[in-house]
Amino acid sequence: MPTPSNLALSDAAKREIGQTLLTLELERRGWMVFSPHIEEKVDLVAVREGANGRLRHAYIQVKTAALSMQNSFEFTLQASKLIESRDFYCVLVCLKDTKFRVVDFHIVPSLDLRKVLAKYFESPTWEKNDSFNFALRLGGRWERYRNRFDFIRPT
């Protein structure tokens, strides 16, 4: 049973933990993972050999949150850091215990992201400086993306 975190992790610590856990999981699933360090919209680049022997890639932005006392995960997404493309994914990393042994990854294709967030926000357009704060609840509307690594389709 998940328990709320009482650790006060800095945003930088959560970011590093989430990116490291996602990197390990992707590598376990046969991907090569790189941190580009030159593009603020992309946290990781996952690369895998395609059926024709050519290398294929997927760009990933990682958002990480620990379970709150409200039994949810609180995320903030900035419109200026989202890329709407078939090879860009937003992965929401949910740390469910204080030792980071129980983790869920919600893999959301960027083309789905606007649609899913529209359920939270009634804004017809996304301005460059818009920021979206939302809660991911266990078993909620984000459930269809939980641990769906098959959604990552490299181009």
Tell me how far the alpha carbon of residue 105 is from its chain's centroid.
7
Alpha carbon distance, N-terminus to C-terminus of the chain: 38
Show the CA angle centred on residue 51, arms to residues 48 and 56, nearest 5°.
30
Domains detected in the chain: 11-151 (3.40.1350.10)
Residue 151's SS3 state is: helix
What is the pTM (predicted TM-score) of this model? 0.84
Written as tens digits, the pLDDT of the chain (155 aa) is 444 445 567 888 888 999 999 999 999 999 999 998 776 789 999 999 988 889 999 999 999 998 888 888 888 887 777 777 778 888 999 888 766 667 899 999 988 887 777 666 655 555 656 777 788 887 777 889 999 999 998 77
CA atoms within 13 Å, Cβ hemisphere of 78:
9
pLDDT at residue number 2:
47
pLDDT at residue number 120:
60
Those residues with Cβ within 8 angstroms of residue 89's Cβ, 6 or more apart along the chain or in another chain: 58, 59, 60, 61, 107, 108, 109, 110, 151, 152
pLDDT at residue number 100:
62
